[in-house]
Structure 1
Amino acid sequence: MRGTDGRKNITQFIKVETFNRYVTRVRTKIREAGFTNPAYENKLSGIADKHPEHSDRINGILALNYYSAKAELKVFIQEVKDTESTDLKAKRKNLSERLTKQCLNEIDPKILSHLVRSEDEHKEKNSLAAERVERYQDADLDRVYDYKEIGSLIPELLTTSTAGDGWQKVALGVALATCRRSYEVFYLSSFEAKAGRKIKVTGFSKKKAGEYERESVTIPCLADPKMVEETVDRLRSCQRIASLISRIDQVDSNDEKNEILNNSVHKQSNDCASRVLGELISTTDGKAVLKWTEGGKRATWVCVQIKSRPVC
């Protein structure tokens, strides 16, 4: 992306990755501010006037901020659809379709329609993502893990206080012990200690048919599984993360949930992993891998698991 500084008449550039982050953060901040589209408000008010039997419900929705209104409107539309499926008179009114097309599809503040990437920008974004994956995979082939030292750090990370920035180390400990992604550690997955130093994990951020998978799997745990189970509860109850979970719970869209979490903890989590583990992983020529990525935690779990004990 390019812009011109009028004072110096200098053309300035920013990286595409930076532009993408700016767009995402601005969109998130606008949504979090609670703004809705005035056109949506006018149309929903008009429907309330024409359907007095629903006026109290609709006026209640109009009083809500963006995220809450969108979630409640979806619930209301589904209730109307259920009624229409059994009531011929209600079906003829076709209220659910009007609510969807005129209100739900129009609720986003108008400015969001301008904060979108062009087709070319989407292609470039996807291309950059593919390049990052390829670089990570290539680099990972020649990495040397001090797996004993990493494994011995996990209990220390799990017992760190969540005060201040301590939650970052606690979350890193859970991720290393269970091979879970950040979204699963902070929010999605549930953990249950099992015998034989194993842990049952339910809920995965890998999507299937647009929904998160709720199936369970029991895996080896690189720490006392009971400690991990209790640590997850402690992590999610600390003020910083409890507040984040509350914000995520207000959102209906899985993409929006991910967006909120990534903007809140992703950078801090990776920076923490770089500080704690950067010196313990090196390339075959002895250089420390100081920069950390989300996938590195999962790769480390696999390495430590294979090296320290046979996988059942």
Structure 2
Amino acid sequence: MNRYQEPLAENTTLCVYNHDELIFSDAGRWLHPLFALEKFLAGYTGPKDCLSAHDTAAGKAAALLMSRLGIKRAHINLISETAIAHYQAHGIEVSWEKRIPLLACKTETLLSEMGDEDQMYRELKRRAKLVQGIAVEVADLSFSYPGQPNLISNLSFSLPEGGRLIIQGDNGKGKTTLLNLLMGKLKASAGSILIDGRDPGQLPARTIGYIRQQQTQQQFPVSAREVVSMAVNPDSSKEEQKWEIDTAMRRTGIAHLAQRNFFTLSGGERQKVSLARSLCQKARLLLLDEPTSFLDAKSRRTLIEILHSLTLQEMPTIIIVTHDKELEADLCWPILHLEALHG
């Protein structure tokens, strides 16, 4: 018997070894020990070439998380058929003490109706309340400028915490106006907007991150790093601030631009600087206005990769307004077409 297959200590629900060295244990319930393991591994610098887990119970959800965390071997006290199938499909060596067709768990039933593993992972994080995002509710929203007919008429949509939405529409259909309404810069003619259950004007500072269309004119001298640093929490320590800035700039691929004047950068470079700033801000609702307008093919790919990463890691709620129809295929997010609403 390998060490990871030995009985769990009393009140312990998960033990993880690298080969025979215990590196992590937890006494939590449901999937929380595995999410705690995910957080632990993110900062763990020791060897992890043969991660082996012993868990009290595993359905498809636990198997999914273990495969994403790089577990190579697993021993489970109570295991479902769906978990065994997932382990085997991902090349994980699995053993067990008792095998049943299905765990009596709503999560197990929910995942059985999903086919995409990223979608499953997002749903598990949402159910574990590990989502940075907040809910958005727009009901019968209308808006018009003085002397003009309704630019937005009876618009309704809702997003859960960590939800994603592309709002498509040609120029002049009210896309940027909608973002200004969501930020509380404009007041609706009729209807309502609730963000995290509150009017936009009542939200705490730093809740919303806004990435605007990039302009081309040069303004005042400020470096890319200074732009990113403006979003860091001023109450954190200098070391924490530096780590946040460096991490955000590396993640968006702009570390080499740190000392460049922000207003001399290309549109694509500035877009990435703005994304890094939003990462430092830890915005709970991220609004992007025509994010691909000035991007070349390489910068566009980087943007897509960053957005995909955000939807699996921090999971803020994200709304993109655009007339770029190719973005639909690139992201595969739900889409709301403003043209249809205008008739």
Q: Report the TM-score when normalising by structure 2.
A: 0.23
Q: Report the TM-score when normalising by structure 1.
A: 0.25
More strand by share: 2
More helix by share: 1
